[in-house]
Copies of this chain bind each other. A is one copy, B any other.
Amino acid sequence: MAVNKNVNAGARTVRPRRRDAARNRDALIAAGRELFDANGLTPTLDDVARHAGVGVGTAYRHFPNKYALAQAVLAESVTDMLDAADRAAQLDDAAAGLAALFDAVLEPQAAKRALGRVLRDAPDTAPPVDDVHTRIENCIDTLLERAREQQVVRSDITATDIGVLMSLMGHLIERFGDVDAHLWRRFLPILLHGLRADAPAPLPGTALNTEDFISRLGRSTQP
């Protein structure tokens, strides 16, 4: 082979971003972080662009839509969250593990007001957001099995049940988070206690299957 000017030989040829482009991209992410952390996903991509001191067109060339920018902004929080979830799944005490898992999933959502929305509603997801559902579900599966062995949850609870509860708590954070960012911590013990093993009667109905659960997770609330 002749001279290969591109360092990135194996991957698809990628010429480095121009310096002004990189600067603008960074400015957009910074502005996005600022606005999204403070106001959730309410601000428009136009808002973020203005706040970053660039034109709307620039914003839309760098990020196809608000959610793409939000994913860039929140990438680190998401990987942190997944790490924390994995750590929770490794706890031998299943009850503690479940509590830690809820914590791992909810605490970041309470800290970053846009995170919950991105996790649930982003129209097209990229790493690391794209496999949050799978990864978390694995953690749930692991802990749930362990919890059943240790008899610390009622046996008719399924993984999607836990998922539903997590999404409910996420909703609680979204709805009441600006009045009291820690309110979810108040309800977590109630929930966890409710999941405990001493069940007088089996849970009515059947749990959701994973597909239905995922499908309804996204933007459902109507006009």
A172 touches B168 (CB 8 A): yes
A190 touches B191 (CB 8 A): yes
Knowing A194-B193, A194-B194 are in contact, say whether A205-B186 is a contact too (CB < 8 A): yes
A221 cross-chain contacts in B, Cβ below 8 A: 174-175, 221
A42 touches B223 (CB 8 A): yes
| Mask of A174-187 contacts with B, CB within 8 angstroms, 1/0 | 11101110110111
Q: Does A72 contact B (CB under 8 A)?
A: no
Interface pairs (21), CB distance under 8 Å: A42-B222, A42-B223, A117-B222, A164-B172, A165-B187, A175-B220, A179-B208, A180-B206, A180-B208, A182-B205, A183-B205, A185-B204, A186-B204, A189-B194, A189-B199, A190-B191, A190-B194, A191-B191, A193-B196, A193-B199, A194-B194
Q: From residue 54 to 70 of chain A, which have CB atoms closer than 8 A to chain B? A: none
B205 touches A185 (CB 8 A): yes
Q: Does A192 contact B (CB under 8 A)?
A: yes
Q: Does A111 contact B (CB under 8 A)?
A: no
A117, A191, A195, A221: most-surrounded residue (chain B CB, <10 A): A221
Least distance between A95 CB and chain B CB atoms (Å): 11
CA distance A182 to B205 in the complex (A): 7
Tell me the number of copies of this protein: 2
A3 cross-chain contacts in B, Cβ below 8 A: none
Q: Does A7 contact B (CB under 8 A)?
A: no
Q: Does A40 contact B (CB under 8 A)?
A: yes
A179 touches B222 (CB 8 A): no
Residue of B nearest to A167 (CB): B175
A176 cross-chain contacts in B, Cβ below 8 A: 164, 208, 212-213, 216
Least distance between A195 CB and chain B CB atoms (Å): 6
A194 cross-chain contacts in B, Cβ below 8 A: 189-195
CA distance A195 to B192 in the complex (A): 10
A190 touches B205 (CB 8 A): no
A180 partner, pick from B171, B212, B217, beta carbons under 8 A? B212
Least distance between A26 CB and chain B CB atoms (Å): 25
